[in-house]
Amino acid sequence: MPALLQSEIRSLPLLGRGKVRDMYAVGDDHLLIVATDRISAFDVILDDPIPGKGHVLTALTEFWLQRLGHLVPTHATGIAPESVVAADERDQVAGRAMVVKRLQPILVEAVARGYLAGSGYKDYLAHGAVCGVALPPGLRLADTLPEPIFTPAAKAEFGQHDENVDFAYVVAQVGHVLAHEIRRVTLALYAEAARHALTRGILIADTKFEFGVDAGGTLHLMDEVLTPDSSRFWPADAWQPGSSPPSFDKQFVRDWLEAQSWDKTAPAPRLPADVIARTAAKYHEALERLSGAAA
C-alpha cells in the first residue's frame, strides 16, 4: 500500500491540516479525520512519510475507543468514512479515517503519567514535582511513580511545544467541575489501559488525551487515543529504572536526525530507507501487541 503524505478530499470542505491529520467538515455536526502517514520530529513535519502509520494510528484509536468507551462518551459515530466521500476518494480514507462528532475542543492536553520520563523527569529534577504534583525525593529516570498522576499541558500554537501547567491552570480554563471531571476520567482511562497493556508486555509510561464537549456540555474523549504518537510505550522486558527504555514510536527517526548536521528547522534531512522501515515496523508492532490486529 503506497504511503499517503497528504489527503486530497475535494468532495468535502477542508478545515485544516495538522502534523499528521487532515480534517474535513461533514455537514454541520460531523468531521472526517484522515490520519496520513506524515511524521514530525522536533516540531518539523518531514518530507518522508512512514508507510502504514496512519492505518496504525486509526486502528489503535478505534481499538481503545471501543475498549474504554464505558468510562466516558467518545467522539466515535460508527459512520463509514467511505460513505461520506466521492467514489474516487475512498482509497484515501479506507482504514485510515474516522467520521466523528463535531465537538467544542478543550484546549488543554490531559496527560497521565505512571512513570517518570520526558518533560516530567526534567520538571522533577528542577522542582521535585511535576506540574505542581510533589513527588518523593530520589526518583530515577523511568521509575514507577507512587501512583499515576495528572499532569496537564497548555496546547501550543502549531510548531511550538506544549507547556506543562498545574491543575489550577485547568480550573481557570474550564471551571472547577469540568476540571475535576477531566482529571478523574484521564486517570481512569490510563489505569484501565495500563492494566491491559501490561498483559501484552507493554508499559504505558505516559499518554495524553484530548477532550471536547457537545452542545449539552457533556465531556467526550476525542482525537487519537493511546497511540505511539500520543503515548510513551515501553517493552516491559526492557524496562530498567535509571535508564530510558526503547519505545514503540519515532525514536529511530529522532536518533538519526540528532546525528545529522541539522538546526531543527524546516526542511529536515531526507530519511534513509532503513530508518523509515524500522520506524514503520515499531508502529506495527505496537498495534499487533496491544490489539492483536495487524494494520
pLDDT tens figures, 226-260: 999 999 999 999 999 999 999 998 888 988 999 99
Region 259-283: what's the mean pLDDT? 95
Encode 123-176 in three state secondary structure. HHHHHCEECCEECCCCCCCCCEEEEEEECCEECCCCCCCCEECCHHHHHHHHCH
CATH 3.30.200.20 region(s) of the chain? 1-102
* Peptide bond just before 267 cis, omega within 30 deg: yes
Span 13-22, pLDDT tens digits: 999 999 999 9
What CATH topology corresponds to 104-238?
D-amino Acid Aminotransferase; Chain A, domain 1 (3.30.470)
Query: C-alpha grid cell for residue 208?
Result: 495524553
Percent of the chain with pLDDT over 90: 92
pLDDT digits (tens, 9 = 90+) for 96-107: 999 999 999 999
Query: Count of residues for the chain?
Result: 295
pLDDT band at 269 (very low <50, low <70, confident <90, very high): very high
- Which ranges in the chain are annotated with CATH 3.30.470.20? 104-238
Per CATH, the architecture of 1-102 is what?
2-Layer Sandwich (3.30)
Examine the pLDDT at 158 and tell me if it is beyond 60.
Answer: no
Q: Is the dihedral of CA 41, 228, 230, 129 positive or negative?
A: negative
Q: Is 221 helix (H, G, I), strand (E, B) or coil?
A: strand
pLDDT at 156: 67
pTM over 0.85: yes
